[in-house]
Chains A and B, each alone.
Chain A
Amino acid sequence: MRTSPFAQFKSLFALSDEQAMWRVQTQDDATAFAQLVGRWENPIQRLCTRMTGDTHRGQDLAQDTFVKVFAQRKNYQPSGRFSSYLWRIALNLCYDELRRIRRRGEASLHDESGDGFALLDSQPSADPGPDRLAVAEERAETVRQALLQLPETYRSVLVLRHYEDLKFREIAEVLDIPEGTVKSRMAEALNQLGRLLLPKLNDKANQFSRPTKKSNRDERLLI
């Protein structure tokens, strides 16, 4: 994640996450808490969205994460980094939510009916045509579906490493597992995803690349 020089200059004078959390913990400092929310709202929301496959659920879970951080501010132990603490809370909330979904037997997460298209924000170019937009949405939906088929332990590692750009060492700290385990889970996650993704994407690519032939054949069949 690249930051602008102005943002880097500004960060020299800003409170660190740990300092801000210390203020929240000891002085109930609302400004410091607002700073933490401003910094971490989007990453946490992205994590929750990718863990649950649902943007609105992700937003709710991100909100719940910050509510929980504030409610438990007095119990915060500043032994590690604040970000690790935050990721851990968000992940635990995601696991709880996924467990609830399974218990209720919701099928929406793996629903391939196309409703998931509303969850996406695929913008491959400034002004893509409707066909390109449709292809991008289709591919994004395929990725979303494949991610949701991964076991949660693999999914969390993959999301934190690939999308949120955490180092393996940091992920090990968040999940409280050895770094080697994180790496082997990542490798397994990529293997499984490859098996899930590549055939589907190839099928769809073929489907989009031969529309005229298919329509001709359909016409012939109709005749």
Chain B
Amino acid sequence: MTHPTREEWITYLYDEFDKETRANLTAHLHVCPDCKTTLAKWRGTTVELNEWQVPARNKSIAIETARPILRWAAAALIVLGFGFGVGRLSSTGSANVAKMQATLLPVLREELQREFNADLQAALNTERSTFATDFQRQLRAGFEVWAANTTAAANLETRRLLVEFVQSYKPARADDLRATLAVLQKADKQYRAEYARLRKDLETVAVVTDNRFSLTQNQIGQLASYTIPTTEP
């Protein structure tokens, strides 16, 4: 026979098993005197443990202090109840009042119900068209508010996008301008260099031409002054 472990028996003792497991262990107890003895000893010990009770200080104090108040409250309740009973019994018109209530109550209830229904119907008839127009007006007003809000939100969004676009465009534009300026400056520099070189060449040409003119002039002068020597016969 396989015995349940002592951990299982402890769980059984403190009733922490589900029904099925508990039933299985109970069945085992019927056929196993050893386990039954162990469990009986433990039960006896737990019963003895209950002999030592520690006082719940606060609760007892609270009850003790509340006890006179409770007594007075109970006494007051009894006196009041007695007075109420005596008053009810000694009142003379109780029978007449009951009779009057029995006759009047159904009539009053019916009258009130009829008036209430009539008022309700009239209110519904008169208020139906008003209700419809009100509803339409409120719906329109709501729609307008919604449309205005949506437009405003859309405008706001568009403005925000534009600002973003401009902000992103500006740096690109500035970059372009800087590049163009650099190109122009480079071209200007090149132009100046070309201009200086041309000027130098022209000056050289002018000087050379001037020299040539002077030389030619001298040669022409020499030629003009040249006389053919006469030959002696």
Contacts and interface: CB of A to CB of B under 8 A. Distances in A.
A140 B52 contact: yes
B224 interface: no
A59 B48 CA distance: 24
A122 B10 CA distance: 27
A147 B102 CA distance: 73
A172 interface: no
Contacts of A88: none
A contact patch SS:
helix
Contacts of A74: none
Nearest to A145: B52
Interface residues of B, number: 23
A136 B53 CA distance: 11
Contact of A49 (B9, B41, B42, B54): B54
B95 to A, nearest CB: 41
B158 interface: no
Contacts of A45: 54, 57
A28 to B, nearest CB: 24
Interface residues of A, number: 39
Contact of B11 (A46, A183, A197): A183
A161 B45 contact: no
B124 to A, nearest CB: 42
Contact of A187 (B6, B52, B53, B58): B6
Contacts of B53: 120-123, 140
Contact of A136 (B11, B42, B51, B57): B51
Interface string A111-143: 000000000111100000000000010011011
A197 B9 contact: no
Given A139-B48, A143-B48, A186 B10 contact: yes
Contacts of A46: 54, 56
A173 B158 CA distance: 61
Interface string A28-44: 00000000001001100
A55 B53 CA distance: 11
Contacts of B48: 139, 143, 193, 197-198, 201
A99 interface: no
B51 A122 contact: yes
A147 B49 CA distance: 9
B11 A168 contact: yes
Contacts of B11: 168, 183
Nearest to B60: A121
B44 interface: yes
A162 B10 contact: no
Contact of A168 (B14, B51, B58): B14
A122 B52 contact: yes
Interface in B55-76: 55-59
Interface string B30-58: 00000000000110111011011111111
A161 B58 CA distance: 23
B16 interface: yes
A184 interface: yes
Contact of A193 (B6, B9, B49, B54): B49
A190 B11 CA distance: 13
Given A168-B11, A180-B7, A190-B45, A41 B52 contact: no
Interface string A55-91: 1001100000000000000000000000000000000
Contact of B45 (A55, A144, A163, A193): A193
Contacts of A50: 52, 54
Contacts of B56: 42, 46
A135 to B, nearest CB: 10
Nearest to B56: A42
The 6 nearest A-B residue pairs measured at CB? A121-B55, A183-B7, A143-B52, A187-B6, A139-B51, A194-B45
